[in-house]
């Protein structure tokens, strides 16, 4: 039996006021349980509320209704500050500090969380090594390609050793070739770190390659329309996956689901 790490129960999010006629309901009644070491993908059309949902999960925003549980403990509608250490967040834009080197960006994250000492300095090198950028530790963001910047962003999110890594469309701003290459990098990072990962994407192939389970969101206000378990063994998730029969069955099934929400 797997250990449940994180749960959301009947989460909803709205903006504005009905009285002032500017009320917008973005998310409605979303619930899910997430297990340790699981890779969850949230899939849906652009503008459906996926990123809003992820910001709630990452403590950047609060829910209007519902609650969350971390390791079985109710933490309310917003992740409290003392629980943020359990989460690492990767944004669509890398959000690196341009005046800091790759290692400097990771160290800034540690300093913010008041994590100092030789073991944490060692971890900076370990995380840059995991994303394949140890040789670039002294390099500034403007000297890195888009894919390399995003890998630094992933290393920064991992450096404080969070339990849960949250990826908000981390590949969305990349060109098609870099995006495909980095999707395999993310898969390898998950294999190496065994973190629980929750990721948002609107790319069906990406979702099937990476996920243990895919939650499909409807258009706004977002509800979960389908939960799909990806039963492709990890060892078969490689550059030949497009030839995998099960991959193509799931692709056809999910594309049909997504088209129905348009």
Percent of the chain with pLDDT strictly greater than 70: 98
- Report the Cα 148 to chain-centroid distance in Å: 17
Q: Which residue is associated with the tokens 């963001």?
A: 141
Q: Is the dihedral of CA 68, 188, 200, 97 positive or negative?
A: positive
What per-residue confidence (pLDDT) applies to 262? Answer: 64
- Which sign does the torsion angle of CA 92, 100, 176, 167 carry? negative
Residues 219, 228, 187: CA angle, nearest 5 degrees: 100
- The whole-number pLDDT of residue 230 equals 96
For 208-221, what is the mean pLDDT? Answer: 94
Using 50, 70 and 90 to split pLDDT, how confident is the model at 259?
confident
Q: Return the pLDDT at 108.
A: 93
The closest of 102, 140, 143 to 124, measured between CA atoms, is: 102
Residues 238, 252: Cα–Cα separation, whole Å:
19
Using CA atoms, how far residue 203 sits from 26, 41, 43, 136, in Å, is 21, 10, 7, 30
Dist CA 219 CA 161 (whole Å):
34
pLDDT recorded at residue 2: 65
In the block, tokens 């995006």 appear at 179
Would you state the torsion angle of the CA atoms of residues 227, 232, 233, 237, taken in this order, to the nearest 10 degrees? -110
Mean pLDDT over each residue of the chain, to the nearest integer: 91
Tokens of 152: 């630094």
What pLDDT sits at residue 1? 45
Tokens at residue 160, please? 């404080």
Read off the pLDDT of each residue in 33-43 and give the average, rounded to a whole number.
95
Over residues 40-75, the pLDDT tens digits come to: 999 988 888 888 999 999 888 999 999 999 999 999
120-129, 169-178, 184-193, 223-232: segment of lowest average pLDDT? 169-178
CB 196 within 8 A of CB 165: yes
The number of beta carbons lying within 10 Å of the beta carbon of residue 143 is 12
With bands split at pLDDT 50, 70 and 90, how would you rate the model's confidence at 27? very high
Contact in structure between 106 and 127 (CB atoms under 8 Å): yes
As a whole number of angstroms, the distance between CA 204 and CA 167 comes to 16
- CATH of region 4-47+54-260, choose from 3.40.50.300, 3.40.50.2300, 3.40.50.10490, 3.30.56.10: 3.40.50.300
From CA 54, how far away is CA 101, in angstroms rounded? 28
Q: What three-state secondary structure class fits 228?
A: strand
161-195: per-residue pLDDT in tens?
999 999 998 887 778 888 888 899 999 999 999 99
> pTM of the predicted model, to two decimals?
0.91
Judged against a pLDDT cut of 50, whether residue 128 lies above it is answered with yes
């Amino acid at each position: 039996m797997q250990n449940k790490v994180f749960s959301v129960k009947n989460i909803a999010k709205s903006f504005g006021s009905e009285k002032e006629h500017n009320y917008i309901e973005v998310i409605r009644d979303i619930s899910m349980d997430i297990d340790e070491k699981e890779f969850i993908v949230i899939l849906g059309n652009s503008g459906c509320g996926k990123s809003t949902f992820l910001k709630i999960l990452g403590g950047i925003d609060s829910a209007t209704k519902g609650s969350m549980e971390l390791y079985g403990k109710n933490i309310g509608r917003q992740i409290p500050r003392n629980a943020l250490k359990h989460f690492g967040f990767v944004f669509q834009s890398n959000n690196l500090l341009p005046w800091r080197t790759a290692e400097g960006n990771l160290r800034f994250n540690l300093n913010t969380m008041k994590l100092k000492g030789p073991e944490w300095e060692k971890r900076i090198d370990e995380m840059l090594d995991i994303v394949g950028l140890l040789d670039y530790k002294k390099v500034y963001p403007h000297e890195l390609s888009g894919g390399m910047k995003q890998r630094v962003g992933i290393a920064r999110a991992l450096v404080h050793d969070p339990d849960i890594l949250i990826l908000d469309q981390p590949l969305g701003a990349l060109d098609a070739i870099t995006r495909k290459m980095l999707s395999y990098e993310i898969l390898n990072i998950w294999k190496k770190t065994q973190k629980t990962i929750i990721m948002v994407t609107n790319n069906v192939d990406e979702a099937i390659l990476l996920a243990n389970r895919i939650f499909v969101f409807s258009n706004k206000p977002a509800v979960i329309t389908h939960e799909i378990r990806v039963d492709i063994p990890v060892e078969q998730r490689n550059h030949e996956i497009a030839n995998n029969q099960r991959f193509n069955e799931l692709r056809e099934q999910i594309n049909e689901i997504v088209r129905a929400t348009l």
